[in-house]
Structure 1
Amino acid sequence: MTDTSSGPLADLRVVEMGQLIAGPFCGQLLGDFGAEVIKLESPGAGDPMRQWGREKPHGRSLWWPVIARNKKSVTCDLRTAEGQGLARRLIDRADIVVENFRPGTLERWGLGYEELRRSNPGLVLVRVTGFGQTGPYAPRAGYGSIGEAMGGVRHVIGDPGSPPSRAGISLGDSLAAVFAALGTLAAVHDRHRTGRGQVVDSAIYEAVLAMMESLLPEWAIAGYQRERTGPVLSNVAPSNVYPTKGGEMVLVAANQDTVFRRLAAVMGRPELAEDPRYATHGARGHNMDELDGLIAGWTAGIGTGELLGRLHDGGVPAGRIYTARDMFEDPHFAAREAIIRLTHPDFGEFPMQGAFPRLSETPGTVRHLGPELGEHNTDVYGRLLGLTGDELTALSGRGVI
């Protein structure tokens, strides 16, 4: 495959179809590690992510350069026979297709997996949807928020006296994309053994469900229903946010027995670790409110910086609750290059999170920001499919690209 990347996935070509977050974030992850990701977008408008998120006065999305980074954009009207034909020719030259349309959409376009694998038996088709490709709910429209609700996480987020809350990010979509990327790599690995591709079916509600720890056996075996508990977990103490002298909040997590002994020593109250009310994990959970009150009374008299210094020196996990501003100012973020900067034609210096996780020998990279709509039509259609300038002009005139 002809790609300038030297990442560990540089020998893989991905055709990304679909839009918004659940499918495209999977494409972003694969692209970060070197895959050549060719994104198919509708002529004229493109992916709605080009308009989503907070905008600068000149109306450009700040989200698009992130989720479309490292990708090539080509325009293709998949609702036309000619567009479907172009897509089919690209897929025949691809290792992976990522899509997040409602189940049955690809089949209506003549691009179902059984058709695609006839000419490309090694193809891995990655399908990200709300409810998966099978089951009675498969035909339903499924946004990330619904998957979060039905997967269980919404019920346990928020204050117990308030309705279920949401995280301030698109959690369900992103989890489904991460699991889709994991499934993609597993399928590609299996192809090395068998020579055959397969379908990766990543449902948003199941991706959320996968993160729900022991929720199911707790109910089925112990009759215990997890509920919203605000900033704490039931029976896990101390692990909470505590006030400091300056009015800030610091999160302290010292629920393990050995760590609690260290916290008690830092507090100058080593006897707390021997007190039957706090000596064990179960006892601390049972007496959570009382213990939190003791810790809060101590932290409230100490400035944030001094408090964190004492806790860190004593081996107690603790940290402030960061905003974006805090991340930019933190030396650890800088030392690990957790935030990288590229140049955007409109915004100038453009910061974003780097490629993750870190590989020691073949790390991921961000090679360029999200492309302009159809920026790579000539490169992709000309180089891969051999279309001439006249042919591309004719396709554009007919609204196919």
Structure 2
Amino acid sequence: MRQVVMGLEESRIREVANEGLGRDDVLKFWFGESDEATPEFVREAAMASLQAGDTFYAHNLGLVELRQAIAVYTETLHPGQGATHWLPRLAVTSGGVNGLMLASQALVNAGDEVVVVTPAWPNLVAQPLIMGARVVRVPLKVVQSGPRAGAWVLDMTALLAAITPATRMLVLNAPNNPTGWTLDREQQATILDHCRQTGTWILADEVYERLYFAGDTDNGAASSFLDVADPDDRLIVAHSFSKSFLMTGWRLGWLVMPQELTHAMGKLIEFNTSCAPVFIQRAALAAIQRGDDITPALVAHLQVCRDTLVPLLRETPGVTLAEPRGGMYAFFRLDGHDDCLDTAKRLVREAGVGLAPGSAFGAESAGWLRWCFASRDPQRLVQGVERLRAWLARAPGASTGL
């Protein structure tokens, strides 16, 4: 076994979740998914495909019909090029995580330098490491005081200084998991221009693009590198059906890339998974064609959930957090509870509340906790805060005043 693989850390989120195995009394907010099932019409499309006998191989890059629908969808969010412009730049992947891994396989050689903006979903750091890269972490900074206390912000000077001609790839995720941090278009243009000068590839994880609450863009989605990039820029953007279409368990995503990379990506897909299952692609086709029946209502509901949870947490003595602009997570600190992994395990055992430890996303966020607020019933969030407050009132090291 390769040493780098042996050295990979196991998921600390699953380590916490294991504390609650077999317990029905735990309110589970640890994983990054809604507790709402995939819409019925999407499930019916998959069943119809199976009944029709769609159990054979497909094109490495995905069904033509699905790629055409993704091209139309992309043009709707990022207009000006035309859907035919996007079609030859698309590859359907077996999940967003598979797409991100494919990008690393396509671009990163052993010994290459890869810069990652952190804290981040751990796969974004692990994947370049698996390829033998040297990873340079550029941490977001935390606003320490004032009305934005707990907000995570990008030190643009530090990021640009870290990206040099020796940097093969820059990896960033915005809207960000776990912090809710987002990039604006001016920042994206500045980063892209700098990477053009250094010859650095950008791998942008934009799976939370539609889960955006600030409302300061033309299309209601977060700003995308696709809005500022030229077709031949060294840019790969990863997307997924998981979050915006309530399809986490289906494992389907897609990549947008320069056209000259698409054929090679198809070859890589052949050596990884050959293709995504046809019946899942048929379900995704139904989802994206009727996306207006899913995503706007989902985003509106998530905003209700965010606006239910965040004020309650802010009113809890000892809690520091900022309102997330995107994503589906509240990211916060508890005074007096700096060992977030131990705290998360205790909350499961002693309070029946399941949260993700911030250390799962890097050393930069040790001491923080992530709460997924994608709950079908916002009252579960209220109940969770009540349990948290009761636990803080009796837990050693808790802040006083409750």
The TM tier, using the shorter chain, reads under 0.3
- Higher RCO (Cα < 8 Å, 6 or more apart): 2
More helix by share: 2
- Larger CA Rg, structure 1 vs 2: 1
